Chain A
């Protein structure tokens, strides 16, 4: 049984259809890459799955249950983890506190009004563990706002790790990172994949990364699912070549 399924999932903004009747199922333990040109609706598709955006039509099924009507907090509590493309942190809290909050959210101790957060050493140790996994231990006491862009991306990923979800949704995790920082994140994704039981959805532009990591690639163009299959087969498709080349041209233009 697929762990995650979208059925005819659609969202409209006025007359514009950003995601158009996408039906897709994700098997547990697999890594699916989602590719497509900018504005194809990849992040919007993610927002529909993790609940930041309500669907206009269609449904999202997680572990066999319809979660379409649930808010993002309840979907997270059920096991959908999300790392955001545009860095989305608690800027004036320390790096450690950012992760500690995610650990606290995962611990689900309910509303605890009368104990001291600083005395929950188990949560703090766990937070340190996840900081270590993204190589941010040295910055633990820095405010998140003071981190470099690459470090903020790493922290973003650490927050998702700390939630210990069943599904990891990475939205361009290496975008804007320097060349020497990229392997930290890629190794991490590989580690999660090697563990075997976690499902990963990855939006990524770098085709070498996609080919190396993905079990399967789906292609979105103008909000529509246009291709779905084994990486080698999908990459060879004309529609992907076009999208991929389109990106190459855009990047060349920006550079």
Chain B
């Protein structure tokens, strides 16, 4: 298979972007060995999962132009599907499979319903409807305690192969203990790679081209004979199913799920939306970069500031400015700066300069 076949003919179209993407891919591929430690592995897993999640939102927002705030709901459905299956059924691959299939079915039905409703509502009211729906789902998740564990969420066990107690190899490899965490990570990494390439194929398929046509000029796309309801709904369903799979992966790596872990508005706005917008909507590579940047910032901005604050000890103002408690201030500042200087996102900006026009 050629590179064009793997990337579906969608080259990065910028030298800097190509380097960033290859570096990101290699770093994730070698993460357990390059960045040993439980925290680093958790961050790498989270990056993978949010690459799938942000890319799936890009299909909905960037490629189709549907402004939905219910995307974290589908993420949550995937996570709850696994969590509920693994707490109620005997722990095993059967439960994992059942959890993901059930969650996909629920998401497909909901996304189809949202798609049909979207035709009846103007864009603004549609967005508000998705907000209300997401809010409703969150309330359900916290109120149905018997099923979801309420605010506390659900903690569950996994098949032994995926647990730290499992030993893939007797001795360490390159100084890293080959336990079930490593197995889990590489399963997540593999799934992320395949799902991302699948989404890249979908947005570059004849179907994906119609989505872009609808985003550009819905009136004209319809006049050409394309059914708007069919394409918009299908795009919404695909995005929802991908988000559900990402949610299922999240529950498996955390061995826990609760409302704030997967379904909250912080996930929707601070993660999904920002990753997609900052990375560059309608590019798929953008949300991938966005996911990497934002997850890294969420985990390392605070400790980084603690180091800076210590360095400036004794100086006026600076230590307090870099106090780790101010990390949200800096994160907010970072967003404003990026959105201001890169209105089309990082990828949009990088592609403006035709480094290797092809």
A71-B222, A111-B230 known; A120-B216 Cβ under 8 A: no
Chain B: residues with CB nearer than 8 A to chain A? 5, 8-9, 201-202, 204-210, 212-213, 216-217, 219-228, 230-231, 234, 238
Q: Is A115 an interface residue (CB 8 A)?
A: yes
Contacts of A84 in B (CB 8 A): 220, 223
Contacts of B8 in A (CB 8 A): 116
Greatest chain A CB density within 10 A among B207, B225, B227 is at B225
B97 to chain A, nearest CB (A): 23
Binds B, one of A11-19, A85-93, A129-137: A85-93
B213 — which chain A residues lie within 8 A by C-beta?
A: 90, 93, 101
Contact B220 A90 (CB under 8 A): yes
Instruction: Select the stretch in A32-40, A55-63, A72-80 that faces chain B.
Output: A72-80
A109 in contact with B206 given A116-B8, A118-B9 (CB within 8 Å): yes
Give chain A's interface residue range (CB within 8 Å of chain B). Answer: 35 or more
Chain A residues closer than 8 Å to B9, beta-carbon distance: 116, 118-119
- 16 more A-B residue pairs beyond the given contacts A73-B222, A88-B223, A104-B209, with a C-beta to C-beta distance below 8 A: A74-B225, A82-B223, A84-B223, A89-B217, A89-B220, A90-B217, A101-B213, A101-B224, A104-B210, A113-B205, A113-B207, A114-B205, A116-B5, A116-B205, A117-B204, A118-B9
Total CB contacts across the A-B interface at under 8 A: 93
Cβ of A163 within 8 Å of any chain B Cβ, yes or no, is yes
A101 to chain B minimum Cβ distance, whole angstroms, is 5
- Contact across chains for A163 and B224 when beta carbons are under 8 A apart: yes
Contact with B206, one of A71, A73, A91, A112 (Cβ below 8 angstroms): A112
Q: Which residue of A lies closest to B202 (CB)?
A: A113
Query: A residues bordering B, Cβ < 8 Å?
Result: 50, 52, 71-74, 76-77, 82, 84, 88-93, 97, 100-102, 104-106, 108-109, 111-120, 159, 163
Contact residues in A for B227 (Cβ distance below 8 Å): 73-74
Give A160 to B202 CA distance when docked, in angstroms: 27
Taken together as a complex, chains A and B put the C-alpha atoms of A227 and B219 apart, in Å, by: 32
Contact A114 B223 (CB under 8 A): no
Contacts of A52 in B (CB 8 A): 219, 223
B1 to chain A, nearest CB (A): 12
